[in-house]
Structure formats: structure tokens, C-alpha cells
Structure 1
Amino acid sequence: MAARPRTAETREATVPISEDVVVVGGGIAGASAALSAAETGASVRLVTYKKSTMRFASGLIDILGYTPDGDGPVADPYDALGELPDNHPYSIVGEDAVREAFAMFDEVAGDLYLGGHTDTNALLPTHGGTVKPTARYPKTARHGLASDDRDMLLVGFESLPDFDAPLAADHMGAAGVPFDVDGVTVEFPERFRADAKVTRFAKALDNDEKSVRRRLAKTVESHLDGAERVGFPALLGDVKNEEVRESLSEMLGVDVFEVPMGPPSLAGLRLEDALFDALDEAGVRISAGNPAVGYETDESGERITTVLVDQKGRETPYHAEQVVLATGGLVGKGIESSREAVEEPIFGCHIPHSEDRYDWFDLDAFGDHPFAKFGVVPDDELRPTDAEGNVEFANLRAAGGIVGGADFAAEKSGSGISLATGLVAGRNAGTEATQ
């Protein structure tokens, strides 16, 4: 879908909703932008269409795990920032902004997350058996650190094929972790359908009907074989996760931790709840469930005056002094591609790409894929620029996955870039709107 500029005369007249700053996108970047804009005293509205991509993420919050050249894991991500290319999002916002963004994250996350006591990356096991460098990690994962030399048992469930504990244990062992790690697959005490969501397991442990926790501990106990800590998939309770984890630990007599999982990720959902609670507390107005589909500009065409939101076929105008675009990249659908072109669908911002789509990827599956770095090219204020390097709109800024220049997945840098660019884009927008 191409971007659709409008004038007030081309749509049905509607009284616009007016804010100092409108943030389009409800992920980590959008939340960071909205929070930092609100701190300037600006009135802020966050517009989000689909459910946040946080539910698809592990819940681990990275700064930089690997360099763009593939070197790593990086021990101190801040040391590596100065070696990044000039067009990398971190190079544009600077180290101070990254530190400020993570200080803001630590305040929002509170005791849900650990890692803020050091600049050094922690190493956490994932559900695939890899060891991932990360800057912040859920408190419930703390006993799974790979720097801890205590022997480990990983536990999976027959009815949860997403986590193959024996295979994950083999992978960790092959990676050379400094402890023995075993894996076992057991039956969960309650029977669910084969396609049951992880929330069914979590709620069963929350409610503890029929002594589910004790029965699970009894099942696992016979497999300990000297292990001093036990890792379960990250489903140990929905709203009572720390209580569930502690009770299992007490029953087993060893430390229990959660292994970060893929979608749907309860750790990601818990983080989403914390961020949206912070947005409510900051007075950010949230409009959810309807997509932004176009915009209006002033007579010069240089400033966006209105973001148009489709509400059941009716375009509702959201007037804004400043706008932040935080809709994500290709995965988040903030960038759309066809066989002919790559587009930013709301404002029509320029996305550099080769005309030959065969140049968008590398023949090696694990190679350096150009599409992984697709995104807008921002100026030093994070305003998207056109093909000639001119600012697209004077009052539009970009944050998160929509910003090009970094391979988030390979670098393990996505959440950190979202936080840092969100902070800078939101703060600049809020400051300018209130001047």
C-alpha cells in the first residue's frame, strides 16, 4: 500500500484530535519515544494498530551482542559502539543517548529485569540451546547465566514442542559452557490440547489447582542427578511468575530459572505490560486497534499536519505538531516490499534499495543480506531523508526498526536501537513541539 497524502478537502470533514506529538507504532521504540516526549511536557498520543511485536520477542534486551563483521560475543557493548559505521543508528544518536535510554528502561522495568549494575553483557541460554549476549534480562532468568559454573538441568514438556530440552542441552554442551548440562522431556501434570497456548500452562501454575506445582516438582526431582539449578521454558506463571518460580525452587531444593522462549513470549508480554503501565502513568493517550493509513501536510508540503487513522473505513484525523514513526521494519510491517519495490507505506519515506530484487539478498542463507538493513536514512535529528539526502518532512522523526543501517538480528541490537532512537526521536519531537 502506497502512502496517501491528503488535504482536508479530500476527506469527510471530522473534528481532528490534536496533540503536540503523535507516535505511530506500539513496540519498544514507540513506547520509548512516547515516554521521552511526555517528559518534555508535551501532550502525546501513541497510535498502534496490531498487537506489539514484544509478544514475539524473547524478552531479552540487547545493546550489541556481535559487531557488524560478526565478531563476538561482545563483552562490553559500549566499548564497541565507537567502531560502528557512521550510518549505524547507534552512531547517529551517540553513546550518551544509549546510556540514557537504558537508564529509562531500568526505571520502567523496575525489579522485573536485571543487568543494570554493569556495562558488561550477560550470557543467557535460549530455548534453541544457544548462549546469547544481552544487556538486560528478566529476573526470573537470573539463575541460568552461562557465567555460573553450577551444573544445569533443562526441562521441557511433551505437549510443548517449541522447547526440545535434550537438544538444547546438547547444543549448550557443544558450545563449551563451563558446566554439565542435561535435558529431559516430561509430561506436564495437566493435560492440554496439542495446540494449547503457553498461557494455559502458565495459568495452571498460577492457580495451582490439584497441586500442579508439587506434582511438577515431583516429576522433575527424579531427573536432577546432581544438577544445582533447573531451567524451565518461560511459562512459570502468568501473573504470579516469581511466586511459582520460588515455590518450585523450594520444592526441588535447587535454584529454578526460566529459559527465554519464542512467540508467544510471556516474558515479552510482561515487558509490554510494564511499558504500557508507564505510558499510562506518564499521561500518554493510547489509540489502539486501528491503522494509520495516510497524512496531510501544510500548503508547503514540508510539514505533516495530520496523521490519518482508518477507523472501520472512516479516516479519523489526528493533528500533531510533531510525529514519530516507529512502525518497525520488514518484520513489523513498517516496511512493505513487492517484487518491484520496497516502501514505507504511511508517509512514503524513501527506503534505499537496488532496483534488482536479486540484489536484496545473499545466496548464502547466513550471509550478509542487504534487506536486513533496509530502512529510512535519517539525518542527525532522526528525520527521514529522500534520495537526494533532503529531509522528507521537517516534523517527522523515525525510531526503531524503521531506521536503516543495522542488521538487528545478526548484531543482537534491536531492542537497544529501539530504546535509544525512540528516546532521541521522542525527546526532540517533544522539545520542538513545546517551544
Structure 2
Amino acid sequence: MAIEDDVLVVGGGLAGVTAALAAADTGVRVRLVSHKESTLRQASGVVDALGALDGTLVSDPYEAVERLSDGHPYRTLGADALRSGFDLFDGTVTGYEGSHTDANALVPTHGGTVKPTARYPESVAPGLASDDRPMLLVGFETLPDFDAPRAAAHLERVGVPFAVHGVTLDFPGNLRADAAVTRYADLLDEAVPVDGGRVDARTALVERVKSHLSGAERVGFPALLGHEAHDEVRAELSQRLGADAFEVPMGPPSLPGTRLADQLYAAMDDAGVGIETGNPVVDVTTDGERVTEVTVERTHTAVPYAAEQYVLATGGLVGKGIASNRESVRERVFDCHVPHPADRYDWSVEGAYGDHAFARFGVRIDADGRPLDASEDVEYENLRAAGGVVGGADVAAEKSASGVSLATGFTAGRLAGEEVS
């Protein structure tokens, strides 16, 4: 006998979580199944909406929606869907800033660029490029992903309105070069004795940094300033350095991403969403017009799951929700149509940052978030799609991945829940 729910969400990233929360808010029974641990834990922790268009930075993402091409999910769903997605995010997550304005903030990255973003952790806020206070960036010998002097030089070249310099130091505790980022955070969380037991890790870090301040009024560290006690760690470093300590968003694995995932999954639990990770969907049953059942593999056992409504949120090419070979491109779970040029040589153009067709591969949706087939008819009446599996947006170039997940996730989840109720 199948496990039954009102809404079944397939995928555990930002889009899937948003869909599950939006559906649960309508009062229906929701379950989320995910093949792997949430990709949120690999994300930087900043939440973009629309940061660039035709290579130019975007100030107001809502205003810029009308300048996007037809077929973009923002055009299909409308700017109100984007706003609703962010409203859900703001009502769910604490410790983030940016909700006071529609304008993007400019957040310095570990590569020395600035990223236009709509929401950002409080731990990142003192580092915004709109602030003209002088800045010191601090990197560590055992963390080659963040070359602080190079990042500082790059920020100077792009013309930030503040003096910035960088330094590379030894992190307290003699960590190995392959140590997980959580090891750094744990030493600061727990104020572990270091330097032969002479001082704790927080004191040792302050001692190492203080002589390099040179008038800096804010100090940027890789995003590892504690995990459970990150607010306390950052506040203590700021007070003892006499300068605002902040975190620079990093690549995976990401502590800000993990902190965000923890909050969102706790919110799903509070909303009564059933959560199952590590269990892939391996088969789908339909009656031609509706999905009637999916089969989930649990510890090598095929288990049927049934729902009135389904949400597909398995990710795009990178997330492996979309698959391709030399002949075609397909959606993996429900085999939904993915528009693509017949000639694979038209999937890309010359130049790493060109207008590549593959960057927009994904299912196309209607205004209700339902995938469309090759004739632009609805694939299944009770299936909606959200996040990276939805095509039409080059989210890397546009800096819009999080916003697309929020807009499509909110729409898919809310309408799925309303269809039931």
C-alpha cells in the first residue's frame, strides 16, 4: 500500500523547501523526499534575486523583470511571484538583512568581486561595498580558497569606495591543510586552548590580526566564525579588535549555507512537513493526464508514494535533475519535455561566458508552474516544477538562482496546496 500525502515534493534544495513550506501554509499534508543532502549546505548563504542583465549589474531586480526575455520564469510567473517568495523567506528565516529595500546590496566575495544580492546574513553585512569604511581582509595559510591580498587588490581594481588591504596568517590551532571548515569554526565556537595552552583560539586570533589593522574599521574573515555560537564569536572579535568583524561568503562547503539549511529544515519540521533524505524516486506511474504514484527506493526496497499534487524540484544540469547525452536532453524523474536545439553544436557558443543555450536548459512552465510538453500543453495536471529544473534562465550569468527557486517554489507549493484544499 502506498504512503499517502496531499502534496509530495521531490527535491530538497531551496526550491523544494520553499514549495513544501508554501504548501504546508495552506493547511494540507506535505512530504518532501530528496535523493541527497540539501544543496543549501554547499551554497554561499547569500540569496540573490536578479543581479545582472546583459552583463550589467542590476540595482532593482523587480523593476528589471520586464526587461527579461520571454520564457524566463520571472516573466512567466510575474514579479509578484518573486516578491511572494522573498516574503516567505523573510517570514521563515532569522539573521538575514536586505528586506528593508527592493535594491540589491553589493557583497564582496572571496574572489574579490562584488555580488549583487537581495538577502545576506547579518554576519556579512559589515562588509558591504556601499560602506566607505577602510577594510582589512584576513586569509589563512591552510585555506588557499581565500587569497586575502589578491582579493583586496581585485576590490581596489574594481573601484570600491574604501581603502582595503589583505593579509595571510596562520590560523590558531595548527590545523592541517585538508581540515574541514567546521574544524576552524569549532575551535572558535568552543574557545579551545591553543598555542601550547597559553590562550584560547579567539584570543589567539585577535592577537594575530591586531597588528595588521592599520586603521581598518572592519575586518573580513572567511566564513568560518563559529557555527553554533557564530553571533557570539563575531561580537567578541569585533569588540576586542575595535573593528567590525564580518564573514566573506565562500565556496562549498559553506557554513552560512549550512546555517541557512538548518533554519529552513527546522521550519519544515515545525510546519509538520514529513522529510525524507537519501531516498531517490526511481519510477513514476501516471494515467496519461495525472501522476498517480511515484516509487521511492528506501534501503534497496521499492516503496510507493501517492499524493494528489506533486512538485518537481530536483535541480538543473548541475544538480542532475536534467540529464543530457550527445543526442538529447531530458528531465530525469517524470521525463518532462526539455526544449533544446536539435543540433548539439548549437547548445553552446564560443567563449566561456557566451550566451550558451545549455545554461537555460530545463522544463518550461505555464503561469501555474506546470511543465509543458513539446506542443506546449500541460504534461500532467497535478505536477508543478520549481528551481533549477525550470528552464529559461541563465541563473549563473544573471545571478538569479535563489530568486528563481523562491519564485517558482512559492508558486508551485502554494498552488499545489490550494488544489488540494
Aligned to 2:64: 80
C-alpha deviation, 1:355, in angstroms: 2.7
Q: Which amino acid aligns with 1:77?
A: P
Match among 359, 376, 382 for residue 389 of structure 1: 376
Spell out the pairing of 1:22-421 with structure 2 (5 A cutoff): 22-67=8-53, 69-71=54-56, 73-110=57-94, 112-210=95-193, 211-298=200-287, 301-421=288-408
Using the TM superposition, name which of 318-327 and 351-360 deviates more.
Answer: 351-360
What code does the residue aligned with 1:80 have?
Answer: A
Deviations 1:258-298 (A, max 9, x none): 00010001011111011101101111001111101121113
| Alpha-carbon distance, 1:29 to partner | 0.3
**TM-score of the aligned structures, taking structure 2 as reference length:** 0.97
3-state secondary structure, aligned to 2:377: coil
Aligned twin of 1:11: none
Task: Tell me the distance in 2 between the aligned counterparts of 1:410 and 1:221.
Answer: 38
What root-mean-square deviation, in Å, do the aligned CA atoms of Structure 1 and Structure 2 show?
A: 0.9
CA distance in 1, matches of 2:124, 2:297: 40
Deviations, residues 360-383 of structure 1 (Å, cap 9, x unaligned): 111111111111100001112111
User: Structure 1-normalised TM-score?
Assistant: 0.94
Q: Which sections of structure 1, spanning at least 5 residues, go unmatched? A: 1-14
Runs of 4+ in structure 1 deviating by more than 6 angstroms, as ranges, are none
- Residue deviations 1:223-275 (CA, integer Å, cap 9, x gap): 11111110000000011111000111111111110000100010111110111
Percent of aligned pairs sharing the same letter? 61
Offset, 1:313: 2.8
Structure 1 residue 386 displacement after superposition? 1.0
Tell me the distance in 1 between the aligned counterparts of 2:211 and 2:129: 24
Deviations 1:117-156, CA, capped at 9 Å, x for gaps: 1111100100010011100000001100100000100000
Give the whole-Å Cα distance in 1 for the aligned partners of 2:343 and 2:261: 38
Q: Distance in 1 between matches of 2:316 and 2:274?
A: 24
Aligned residues: 415
Given residue 165 of structure 2, which amino acid in structure 1 is its aligned partner? D
Residue in structure 1 matched with residue 413 of structure 2 by the alignment: 426
Deviations 1:56-80 (CA, angstroms, capped at 9, x unpaired): 211111111011x222x11111111
Q: Distance in 2 between matches of 1:70 and 1:226?
A: 35
Measure, in 1, the Cα distance between the counterparts of 2:112 and 2:333. 39
Name the aligned partner's letter for residue 36 of structure 1.
Answer: A
2:196 paired residue number: none
TM-superposed deviation, 1:19: 0.4
Amino acid at match of 1:83: R
* Deviation readout 1:413-432 (Å, 9 max, x if unpaired): 11011011100001111111
Q: What is the identity, as a one-letter code, of the residue corresponding to 1:70?
A: G
Runs of 5+ unmatched residues, structure 2: 194-199
Deviation at 1:326, TM superposition (A): 0.4
**Does the residue aligned with 2:201 lie in a helix, a strand or coil?**
helix
SS at match of 2:341: coil
Q: Which letter does structure 1 place at the counterpart of 2:147? A: D
Q: Which amino acid aligns with 1:325?
A: L
